[in-house]
Amino acid sequence: MPTTEQEVNMKRLAMMIRGISVAMLTSRGGDGSLHSRPMVSPGVEFDGTLWFFTQVGSEKVAEIALNPQVNVSYVSAAEHRYVSLSGRASLVDDPEKKKEIWSPEHRPWFPQGVDDPELKLLRIDVERAEYWDMLSAAMAQLLGP
């Protein structure tokens, strides 16, 4: 069965962000300003959706409620991997998914663990993906309009 260009691009994108443990999430505040913060990236294979843990009362959750458009960037300077993903974020409460993606790396930020009632999932449905192409010294698009 032949694969589509989008499927090939999804696999390439998954390979490019694999193993990068921290991503930068950027959201827009109510005053229009941009706010970025590091997020521990769970070791889940990318399939078009990104998942992160968050506290329900966090500033980013309030910002996303006002404007769900976000950007997530991944960098591995040593391997020359620079990836920018944008999409729509939503807050999700899925106990099974939380258990699936929980790792000990999350404990410093969420000391009560996966059963903390304030712990939620941030789901980002990626709409556009770009990466820095070292050969052409320019951004190249993998997904999106």
pTM for the complete prediction? Answer: 0.87
SS3 for the chain, per residue? CCCCHHHHHHHHHHHHHCCCCEEEEEEECCCCCEEEEEEECCCCCCCCEEEEEEECCCHHHHHHHHCCEEEEEEEEHHHCEEEEEEEEEEEECCHHHHHHHCCHHHCCCCCCHHHCCCEEEEEEEEEEEEEEECCCCEEEEEECC
Taking 70 as the threshold, does the pLDDT of residue 86 lie above it? yes
Question: What is the predicted pLDDT for the residue at 124?
Answer: 97
Average pLDDT, the chain: 88
Q: Residue 36 is part of a domain; what is its CATH number?
A: 2.30.110.10
Question: What is the predicted pLDDT for the residue at 135?
Answer: 58
How many structural domains compose the chain?
1
Q: Which residue has the higher pLDDT, 123 or 134?
A: 123
Question: What is the predicted pLDDT for the residue at 1?
Answer: 45
